[in-house]
Structure 1
């Protein structure tokens, strides 16, 4: 009996998955689908003590207030989706946009602050056919509007409630000088690069022209401008409302609006700290801010841990699964 030799192009005739294995190619998309889950496991193991303590505090809380905090957290994804659409003239598919914001939240907690969500949204806009220059401009406009809204809300609340937070307790003794020195050094480096490095100056000027053009186009459309600024203000309001609801659930003796001031002050303070999702830095800043607002340290710690469980850890696994599904479906 004779055995016929295998055809030379056998891998090309086999199903795609088996052909890829025979050809020695890595299933890149499958790896990208599973990577968020692996990162969730790593982050959860590293912060297991925080998870145990946070869930312990949730068991003794008033559940109606916890449900209100969960509802406020869900509204943050809606606000983010509305703001993303408002920053771009081109219409994006609504359901996919909302799912992308949920997935971007998980990515943002697994990568240095802001990078995960920005990468997911840039990829989503690219798949939707938005040119790279316009998608980058929309991202910059989103970040600018969100920052202006957050700082603006903080200043407005400080004017209305000047005694809400004792800011002297937020900054350690002797830290003001080094902070100002570091900020001045960053500004000097940026100005020097713009003045003396031609390539940097060219890239920045081109980006600013595109961004300003996109901003003008957005603000000529009332619906887009309303979505941009309405979503930008709603996002930190929902976040602060979630913290206030958890504070009520655990009996923190601080007025809700003072808790909102503490939350905004803490998040503005840690905005430049490059930790994944602010994990670690946000908790510390929130605890200090709530204590500065007049809350007992033990109760403030319990509130912050429970709040981060609701806003970060509970959505993390489903968000990672959504991220993997969006990658698999080629939505991002």
Structure 2
């Protein structure tokens, strides 16, 4: 069996980003040493605000998805959606390039285990992603308008348009039959090429995709559900930015209110390319540079970024991986429990039992 070699381009780009961070750290050694001294004089009250804002950000993400998952009356607990939000986020930020897809697939499987049908889970995750992107584009637009720099405003507005337009097109595809027809045609073409080259997926993959797409298009949330979901998506991004602002205040620096939002959005946009896991190196560079451009001292900007990333990335990721392990083990246990009645029904002893099969069994077919 041939061993697949890892793609070199993502690895090289990630190594380049981290290497650049190290080189800049060496070149800016005085600022680095000054930022380290900042950690000895932190304002702990603002750190508590940063932690609370980040917890609120994740809660808003979970609540947004929960609103959409309940579109057809299926009840999903707030505790479950919160756990899935943390776990899927951990998967998303831990893998370069494919992290977002892996995180979405994990969320989909977890929601299916909780009784949400395939079409609703697919629709909810799609619409949640669309709303999150539009909310981010809105914040970037506001940040661009707040800045005094024409260049910053141009970059911000261009980034907002590039983020929102593809998501709007995807959302419209669920409402108009001719667009869905084009998507189904493209899916059939892709499935055909994939089967020719790799002998997979199955022949009915295109039909299954069309069925799910049509079922998802038939779902209709109420204006209130849409409104709450979008507000929570907006709150998700806003609370994360508040976490950054509180991290800056924790260092004793003045928070650059006019440039903070655009600096945050530009850094998040840079990290979203997935060159490194969770944008490690990329986000730190972009955010520090943006804060310095917003007239923050370099040493305080670097210290604030380190605090912000420790809370918003590393702490949230650790919590998420703990929940990944817990949810995965619970899913395996559920699958084993579900398999026992099936094995007994076909006359097979459970794997954990040493007893002989029952004398009578349910005939198959």
TM-score, with length taken from structure 1? 0.67
Do the aligned partners of 1:126 and 1:132 also contact (CA within 8 Å) in 2?
yes
Shift of 1:242: 0.2
Aligned counterpart for 1:108 among listed residues 71, 78, 92: 92
Shift of 1:78: 0.7
Partner of 2:253, secondary structure, is: coil
Do the aligned partners of 1:80 and 1:232 also contact (CA within 8 Å) in 2?
yes
Q: Distance in 2 between matches of 1:309 and 1:76?
A: 15
In the TM superposition, what whole-angstrom CA distance separates every residue of 1:10-58 from its partner, at most 9, and x where no partner exists? xxxxxxxxxxxxxxxxxxxxxxxxxxxxxxxxxxxx99x99x9999754
Q: Distance in 2 between matches of 1:305 and 1:252?
A: 14
Shift of 1:115: 3.1
Q: Does 2:280 match 1:294? A: no
Q: Distance in 2 between matches of 1:277 and 1:326?
A: 22
Shift of 1:137: 1.8
Please list, as runs of the form range in 1=range in 2, the aligned pairs for 1:261-276 lying within 5 A after superposition: 261-276=262-277
Please list, as runs of the form range in 1=range in 2, the aligned pairs for 1:148-163 lying within 5 A after superposition: 148-159=134-145, 161-163=146-148
Q: Does 2:75 match 1:86? A: no
Shift of 1:282: 1.7
* Counterpart in the other structure of 1:26: none
Partner of 2:279, secondary structure, is: coil
Q: Distance in 1 between matches of 2:45 and 2:298?
A: 24
* Counterpart in the other structure of 2:322: 321
In the TM superposition, what whole-angstrom CA distance separates every residue of 1:125-168 from its partner, at most 9, and x where no partner exists? 11012222321221111110000001012212322x13169539
Rate the CA distance shift 1:211–1:151 in 2: closer, same or farther, 3 A: farther
Rate the CA distance shift 1:135–1:65 in 2: closer, same or farther, 3 A: same
Q: Distance in 1 between matches of 2:116 and 2:93?
A: 26
Do the aligned partners of 1:244 and 1:260 also contact (CA within 8 Å) in 2?
no
Do the aligned partners of 1:108 and 1:115 also contact (CA within 8 Å) in 2?
yes
* Counterpart in the other structure of 1:218: 221
Q: Distance in 2 between matches of 1:294 and 1:138?
A: 41
Partner of 1:311, secondary structure, is: helix
Do the aligned partners of 2:86 and 2:317 also contact (CA within 8 Å) in 1?
no
Aligned counterpart for 1:97 among listed residues 81, 86, 89: 81
Q: Distance in 1 between matches of 2:319 and 2:89?
A: 10
Do the aligned partners of 2:259 and 2:294 also contact (CA within 8 Å) in 1?
yes
Partner of 1:232, secondary structure, is: helix
Do the aligned partners of 1:259 and 1:290 also contact (CA within 8 Å) in 2?
yes
Aligned counterpart for 1:199 among listed residues 183, 188, 211: 188
Shift of 1:196: 8.4
Shift of 1:323: 1.7
In the TM superposition, what whole-angstrom CA distance separates every residue of 1:294-313 from its partner, at most 9, and x where no partner exists? 22333222211111011122
Rate the CA distance shift 1:64–1:144 in 2: closer, same or farther, 3 A: same
In the TM superposition, what whole-angstrom CA distance separates every residue of 1:36-86 from its partner, at most 9, and x where no partner exists? xxxxxxxxxx99x99x99997544321111110000011112101111112
Rate the CA distance shift 1:258–1:210 in 2: closer, same or farther, 3 A: farther
Q: Distance in 2 between matches of 1:115 and 1:198?
A: 17
Q: Distance in 1 between matches of 2:213 and 2:149?
A: 38
* Counterpart in the other structure of 1:69: 50
TM-score, with length taken from structure 2? 0.62
Partner of 1:330, secondary structure, is: helix
What count of residue pairs does the alignment treat as equivalent?
A: 263
Q: Distance in 1 between matches of 2:318 and 2:119?
A: 32
Q: Distance in 1 between matches of 2:274 and 2:126?
A: 19
Q: Which ranges of structure 2 fall in alignment gaps of 5 or more residues? A: 1-17, 26-31, 163-181, 191-205, 335-365
